[in-house]
Amino acid sequence: MSVKSTASTASSATTASSVAEVTASSVAEATRAAVQEFIAARVAGDTGRLVTLFADEVDWMLAENPAVPWIRPRFTAAECAAQFEELMEHTVPEDARASVDTFLVDGTDAVLMGHLSGTVRATGKSFEGPFALRLTVEDGRITRHHLYENSLSIAEACAP
């Protein structure tokens, strides 16, 4: 008859739990680092770096808005990175503002919440409002980019 020690079982469970916590913490740290790199590349306007940060195929979601030229479906890393250039073509870069109030990370998912504003170059009209951005990072690359923003304000600013 075999008897397993309670202390040994408890020790194994604690070790397994500790390993899981370290692994989850490492995943979250990697996600946070990739998102911070994404933010830095966006601020710097480094499209080449953005291409490397996005996965080959991206689950991109931004409510379609025919009145806004830079808002359209995107699927590839190059298309996603190009969104920044298109935004800068159609808005006044000096008037672009974005602030992040909240940065949450849970495993491979990150959520940024804050406020954005800008001016449309063609109309001279301004837009502003809150935003939430959900990103998923897998193997160091962004596989999901879901942006929720004040699309009405942006569409109104694009209207002649």
Q: 3-class DSSP state for residue 113?
A: strand
Give pLDDT tens digits along the chain (160 positions). Answer: 444 544 555 555 555 566 666 687 899 999 999 999 999 999 998 999 999 999 999 999 998 888 898 998 899 999 999 998 999 999 999 999 999 999 999 999 999 999 999 999 999 999 999 999 999 999 999 999 999 999 999 999 999 9
CB 72 within 8 A of CB 151: no
Tokens representing 36 are: 């911070």
Give the phi and the psi of residue 120 in degrees, each rounded to 5. -80, 125
Put simply, whether the predicted model's pTM sits higher than 0.85 gets the answer no
Four-point Cα dihedral 138, 144, 149, 154, nearest 10? 120
CA distances from 105 to 17, 31, 74, 110 (A): 20, 7, 24, 4
pLDDT for position 2: 47
